Amino acid sequence: MGVRLVRGSEITWRHLAATASIPFLFPSVSIDGRRYVDGGLLGALPVWAAEEMGAARVIAVQCLTGLPFRVLRSILPSRGVSPGLQVTFVVPSQPLGSIREALFWSRTNTERWIALGERDGEEALSSITM
């Protein structure tokens, strides 16, 4: 089953609703007879989409680094990108916390995540050449 990039005037409210559809929490959305859920569950980092839109260089922030996500990425097929695409990954240098911490908003966690992202982003920038 292929993945197709939907953009511009093709995007409807159903596409937006599907991005918030999480199994067991929010129902899937039917579009043209097919059921859709949040694509981030299985393909949270669609580098291929940036390439399809014409990018030659991508800075990708990989936040889902915990064991369940690493296992999923290793067993599920992924859509590859061409070898010529320059991809720089920004990966948290420290654990972000539990799933519960991600689901329930906390000012302390948010401030910690922003500060960590700034540090890790600056570190990644040092490896990019123009």
The 10s digit of each residue's pLDDT in 45-77 is: 788 888 888 999 999 888 777 666 666 666 665
User: Is 130 part of a structural domain of the chain?
Assistant: no
The string of pLDDT tens digits covering residues 18-39 is 888 887 888 889 998 988 887 7
Q: How many domains does the chain have?
A: 2
Looking at residue 47, what is its pLDDT?
Answer: 84
DSSP 45-94: --HHHHHHTT-SEEEEE----SHHHHHHHHHS------TT-EEEEE--SS
pTM (predicted TM-score): 0.64
User: Is 73 part of a structural domain of the chain?
Assistant: yes
Both 24 and 85 in one domain: the answer is no
The answer to whether residue 1 scores a pLDDT higher than 80 is: no
The boundaries of the domain holding residue 80 are 45-125
The string of pLDDT tens digits covering residues 82-115 is 888 888 889 899 988 887 888 888 999 999 999 9
User: Is 59 part of a structural domain of the chain?
Assistant: yes
